[in-house]
Structure 1
Amino acid sequence: MTTTEPRSYPFSEAEKLDLDPLYAQLREQEPLSRVQLPYGDTAWLATRYEDAKTVLGDPRFSRAEVLRRDEPRMRPNTANGGLLTMDPPDHTRLRKLVAKAFTARRVERLRPRTEEIANSLVDGMLERGAPADLVEEFALPLPITVICELLGVPYADRADFRVWSDAFLSTTKLSPEQVTDYTEKMLDYMARLIAERRVAPADDLLSALIAARDEEDKLTEEEMVRLASGILVAGHETTATQIPNFVYVLLTHPGQLAQLRADLDLVPQAVEELMRFVPLGSGAGFPRYATEDVEVGGVLVRAGEPVLVSLAAANRDGSVFTDPEVLDLTRQEASHVGFGHGPHHCLGAQLARMELQIALTTLLTRLPGLDFATSAEDVEWKRGMLVRGPQKMLVSWQGDV
């Protein structure tokens, strides 16, 4: 299957939660293949689990190099800094400043409050009655509320930063000018909020970052603004997308859903399997550049060449996962790479896990008979974004609880 000409990538438009079958073919026959994205350098694409972990974890692959190169990407705008474009030791320095807020112990302290928020949102759905838009009425406000309270961002401003956050995830939904405009507005908003917190500090992550900046000189003002903005966007967008994704998958796999309803102790395990099974990204992104010649999957990647990793393809690797195309909520195998791997492993993975567990448990217990209001075909899907998921998903349930 080896080809000398790079393939156009993404291979096809992301449809619902379907993964292009070419990934499976490449994983078997050409695990490291040449691809050309709409913008930037030609790249290698890694599709196997072990190769993915190598590229994501080996220090010979650099994220910071994208700031000096024409990064392969799906949109015209280039990377402009932040935690996701750093290598150690700078990346380590900044990550340590916020990592304490996202430890398993700290996240567990947030569980009761998160459960309270989830139940309050379901109360509202029950009061208004079915059908309800799961996205607007539950999936979005749950993680937005949590991250606002954790970071110290006014929930009342959510309409603004929800619009601006599209700039971080848009491929074709927004024009390059809109992406630049929204990004600047988000950064300006965060800079103003930081100035307010300096005058009136609070018990939140933003105040802690300000203290680290002003008292210990551990990060620059620009680093702090970008870091806080990144936490705000990442802290709600992906989880808000995965909640309806998970519900969609469960409703279209009734046998697995019945098993979960019968044993809610399976929820943590179910979240891990759904993280493995759901291809959240519309394509591979965040390339790493080889800083020296490195062999990956039997292929020599030359110094200066970028490699993209398909997490979705790696999570369907049959050499690691038995029957990888099958959803199995009782699966107990190798860890998925849905949250990434290596230095850039998702900082908020524990928070996301907790929120997803609570979301599923609350929906299944409070809304018996949860189902599509009409049919799965009526779900409206996001377009032109780096992540895939429902834009609107009407659901119904049985009776009042």
Structure 2
Amino acid sequence: MNEPIALPYGDPSFVADPFPFYRRLREEGPVRRVMTGTGHESWMISRYDDVVAAMSDSRLSCDFRDSADPRLLTELSSDQGGLARSMLRVNPPDHTRLRRLVSKAFTARRTAELAPRIQQVTDQLLDAVMPAGRVDLVGDFALPLTVVVISELLGVPEGDRDGFQEWTDTMLVPRSADQTDLRRMEEAGLRMRTYLESLLAARQAHPGDDLLSALIAARDEDQRLDQEELLANVFLLLVAGHISTVDMIGTSILGLLTHPDQLKLLRDDPELLPGAIEEFLRHDGPSSPGVARFATEDIDIGGVTIPRGATVMVAIAIAGRDPARFPEPDRIDITRPNNAHLAFGHGLHYCIGAPLARLEGRIAISTVLRRLPDLSLAVPFDELRWPAASLRGPIQLPVTFDPS
């Protein structure tokens, strides 16, 4: 196979719209060797059926210790932020045990009970910007909304939330891939870890009616969740429940503003909103190009042998636009039937927070459309900025509306 092709994160046009580049990769074959933005070689799987199969293949491990790349091992074993022992990076039986314990605390009832509070915070944030007729729907709306929701769910005190938001943004939304940015990411991860350790100690001493206290109770009852695992999974819930939902809200509203026919459809029939959110997750979801796995043995995919120890990029973003699965995949259609996208994953590692993300998205987007008349982008589309990272969404979303 040819030399790996570099993902061109230094090219602003790629960062703004990577899908033409992704499409060429998919058309070249079922597996393509690529070089990531951090300089690591990966074997990219990009066709829908292959991606679904890969996400259920026990030979593709989530544990970075199965990687043969010594640089990757060194970087990830430093455990920036504490994810190494989370559900995200372990395989069964540990994954099964951890997911069961977290699910025991993160119940459907607990999620549903958040709806009135999400609506209240949404309205308060919009009340504050209504007189101006202009707002950044990321920085002034989606970010603070998701920070409040995940903080209250987990029991993060109000006075600590600004620090949490800053650390999360630094860790997960780098503006570039240079060494200075990488050092800032590492420092933010260490600060977050230190903070979470102190928060856990406080909740262990004084439990409350929050998810963190429920996780501690589940751990103490079952005696099968150690302190490092508890810390790692709290960290995962914090960051996954925050920035990816911001991206989903921002990208969905942007998609509606740049596709007025779809916006009109939704305004005419608000009941289409749940399907619209699924379509935006398929078309341009928060994870791009996808998630990493590590081959525990030689694996053949489409006639290509991926060697044991290789890093495999399971490219869910590219699979979401596979014409073999989605007719006219580059076209946004909020009425698209049978929209089995993979933005929340598939199989054992399906996102445990997907119901909460969907709930926040429905309330946030519907309220924006109802309360901000004549909504439109305040800048040309090509002036929007996007992160040079694997999480994708507009960094700002400046809009104008009729304040009356």
Where in structure 2 are the equivalents of 1:1-400 lying within 5 Å? 3-10=1-8, 13=11, 15=13, 17-39=16-38, 42-66=41-65, 69-70=68-69, 77-78=75-76, 80=79, 81-83=84-86, 84-126=88-130, 128-165=131-168, 166-170=170-174, 172=177, 175-284=181-290, 286-379=291-384, 381-400=385-404
Which residue identity is paired with 2:159?
A
**What secondary structure does 2:222 align onto?**
coil
Which residue identity is paired with 1:340?
G
* TM-score, scaled to structure 2: 0.90
Which residue identity is paired with 1:272?
E
- 1:277-314, Cα deviation, whole Å (9 max, x unpaired): 11434544x42122223322332323322211111110
> Which is worse superposed, 7-16 or 216-225?
7-16
Separation in 1, partners of 2:344, 2:55: 11
Q: Is the 8 A contact 2:248 2:285 kept in 1?
A: no
Q: Is the 8 A contact 2:172 2:389 kept in 1?
A: no
Separation in 1, partners of 2:393, 2:64: 30
Separation in 1, partners of 2:30, 2:192: 39
- Report the Cα offset of residue 42 of structure 1: 2.9
**What secondary structure does 1:287 align onto?**
strand
**What secondary structure does 2:146 align onto?**
helix
Q: Is the 8 A contact 1:76 1:176 kept in 2?
A: no
Q: Which runs of 5+ in 2 are unaligned?
A: none
**What secondary structure does 2:364 align onto?**
helix
* TM-score, scaled to structure 1: 0.90
Separation in 2, partners of 1:351, 1:192: 26
- 1:342-368, Cα deviation, whole Å (9 max, x unpaired): 222222111111111111110111111
Which residue identity is paired with 2:402?
Q
Cα RMSD (Å): 2.4
> Which is worse superposed, 166-175 or 288-297?
166-175
Which residue identity is paired with 1:8?
A
Separation in 2, partners of 1:167, 1:324: 32
Separation in 2, partners of 1:168, 1:376: 23
**What secondary structure does 1:116 align onto?**
helix
> Which is worse superposed, 274-283 or 314-323?
274-283
Q: Which runs of 5+ in 1 are unaligned?
A: none
Which residue identity is paired with 1:116?
Q
Separation in 2, partners of 1:72, 1:273: 37
- 1:36-66, Cα deviation, whole Å (9 max, x unpaired): 2355653211110111111111111101144
**What secondary structure does 2:55 align onto?**
helix
- Report the Cα offset of residue 252 of structure 1: 0.7
Which residue identity is paired with 1:24?
R
> Which is worse superposed, 184-193 or 339-348?
339-348
- Tell me the matched-pair count: 394
Which residue identity is paired with 1:146?
V
Q: Is the 8 A contact 2:64 2:76 kept in 1?
A: no
Q: 1:11 to 1:376 in 2, by over 3 A?
A: closer
Separation in 2, partners of 1:27, 1:72: 27
- Report the Cα offset of residue 263 of structure 1: 0.7
Separation in 1, partners of 2:71, 2:282: 25
Q: Is the 8 A contact 2:9 2:388 kept in 1?
A: no
- Report the Cα offset of residue 249 of structure 1: 1.3
Separation in 2, partners of 1:158, 1:149: 10
Q: Is the 8 A contact 2:5 2:34 kept in 1?
A: yes
> Which is worse superposed, 250-259 or 90-99?
90-99
Q: Is the 8 A contact 1:277 1:316 kept in 2?
A: yes
Which residue identity is paired with 2:138?
V
Q: Is the 8 A contact 2:67 2:295 kept in 1?
A: no
Q: 1:184 to 1:374 in 2, by over 3 A?
A: closer
Q: 1:49 to 1:6 in 2, by over 3 A?
A: same
> Which is worse superposed, 261-270 or 75-84?
75-84
Separation in 1, partners of 2:226, 2:67: 21
**What secondary structure does 1:4 align onto?**
coil
**What secondary structure does 2:340 align onto?**
coil
